[in-house]
Amino acid sequence: MQKTFIAKIEAIESGQRFLAKFSGIEIVVFGHKGQIFAYENRCLHQGGPVGEGMILGRVVSVLDSEKRLVREEFSESEDQLICPWHGWAYSLQTGECAGLRGVYLKKFEIVNEKGSVYVQSQS
């Protein structure tokens, strides 16, 4: 299985994002809350550089006892990667598009070997 070196773990944990070509695909690799993620750097909407987007908690509705909307707030447990072009949101954990359930960013597997981070395609 082919793998590509991205960076030392310390650089990713410090918050840097890395772009790399893997099998002809541009990918973005970054860390967030102690985890490392690797996705194709291409929004499913119009091909924007999704890896340049902000990471925000998923917007959740807070309802009262009669199921009326009280407010909306950002989730503390579910983060999303937001495309900077048009705001399409993707689950940070799975790459699933918030607006099109069942549609996902292409995800790559992370391999940490002795402090060096590599990516390899998930089969």
Tokens linked to 123? 């089969």
Say what the pLDDT of residue 121 is: 67
Alpha-carbon distances of 75 from 56, 58, 60, 78, rounded to whole Å: 8, 5, 6, 6
Architecture of domain 3-121: 3-layer Sandwich (2.102)
pLDDT tens digits for range 29-76? 999 998 999 999 999 999 999 999 999 988 888 999 999 999 988 888
Q: How confident is the model at residue 123 (pLDDT cuts 50, 70, 90)?
A: low
Say what the pLDDT of residue 13 is: 86
Please give the sequence-ordered ranges of beta strands (E in DSSP) within the chain, or none if there are none: 3-8, 18-22, 25-32, 35-40, 55-63, 69-82, 89-91, 108-113, 116-121
Q: How confident is the model at residue 77 (pLDDT cuts 50, 70, 90)?
A: confident
The domain segmentation of the chain, as residue ranges, is 3-121
First to last CA, the chain: 10
When pLDDT is averaged across residues 16-23 and rounded to a whole number, the result is: 90
